[in-house]
A = this chain, B = another copy of it.
Amino acid sequence: MEVEKNEEKKIIVAVDESEESMYALSWCLHNIIVSQQISKSTTLVLLYVKPPPPPYSAFHVAGYLFGNDVIATLEEYSERLVDSVMSKAQAICMKSNRNIKVEKKVGSGDAKNVICGTVEKLGADMLVMGSHGYGFLKRALLGSVSHDCAKHVKCPMVVVKQPKNI
């Protein structure tokens, strides 16, 4: 039994609007990317998953059919959210002084499927994510994405829980 020693590594960090996912990213930079040598040989992939666009029927709320203007506004809001999360994540990477290659990816759809699919497609060596992330509502409705991923993902996965006193 040997653990493969691959020089070029790819680490995917699933980021979202939660503080916990930013903590997971920061934890990864300080505990996994621990040397300049590792920074040089590692690509950090920041992955954000947008929820799938709601079917039009979802916009029939209480008898109202939302017009295209409302849909356009929601889409714009969603784009801004992506930009905001990615900027925050990028700033954390910069601040860590790790001089690491960072790629940004935005997926859309079911978070578990997109994350596990991206891990497989990129042949990632590690997946890092917060324990509870991916939105309060979604979690309440669908359970924790990190637990789903832990079941299905093929590579080692780090589940990072943010300490309560931070």
Contact = CB atoms under 8 A, between A and B. Distances in A.
A146 B157 CA distance: 11
Given A3-B23, A26-B3, A32-B32, A156 B154 contact: no
B163 A154 contact: yes
A2 B166 contact: yes
Interface string A124-166: 0110000100000000000010110011011111111101001
Contact of A150 (B1, B31, B147): B147
Contacts of A30: 3, 5
Given A3-B27, A23-B3, A131-B150, A159 B157 contact: yes
A81 interface: no
